[in-house]
Amino acid sequence: MSNNVFSMEILYSGKYESWEFENRQKRDVFYEQVVQQFADQKINGQEEGIDDTRIVQLSSNNLKIQENGEYAQDTRYEWFEYDVFSQMLDFINNKYNQSE
């Protein structure tokens, strides 16, 4: 038996929010909608050592937990300009609440 967790997170300057989805497909569709909505603010070429107060990180996580306690995780993330945080958070919350 295993448990799967499909989530999406937004992180900016110590502020963190997350949302869980019932399956990977629903989460992936939702994630892509967010990325497309804010494509103009996306930062291409994620650099090492970038000041994390200057970016918003949007990520999708797939976590598979086995009965024996072992787990596997893969994460995808995108970076966006820091000043989009509030707009992105509102967009995600509104769409997520509509989908429930």
Lookup: tokens for 77: 């993330």
CA distances from residue 18 to 49, 69, 70 in whole angstroms, order as listed: 24, 23, 23
Rounded to the nearest integer, the mean pLDDT of the chain is 90
Lookup: tokens for 21: 């989805």
- Note the pLDDT tens digit of each residue in 10-30: 999 989 999 999 999 999 999
- Note the pLDDT tens digit of each residue in 28-79: 999 999 999 999 999 987 666 677 778 999 999 999 988 888 888 999 999 9
**First-to-last C-alpha distance (Å) of the chain:** 27
Give the C-alpha separation, 44 to 84, whole Å. 15
Indicate yes or no: pTM above 0.85: yes
40 in helix, strand or coil? helix
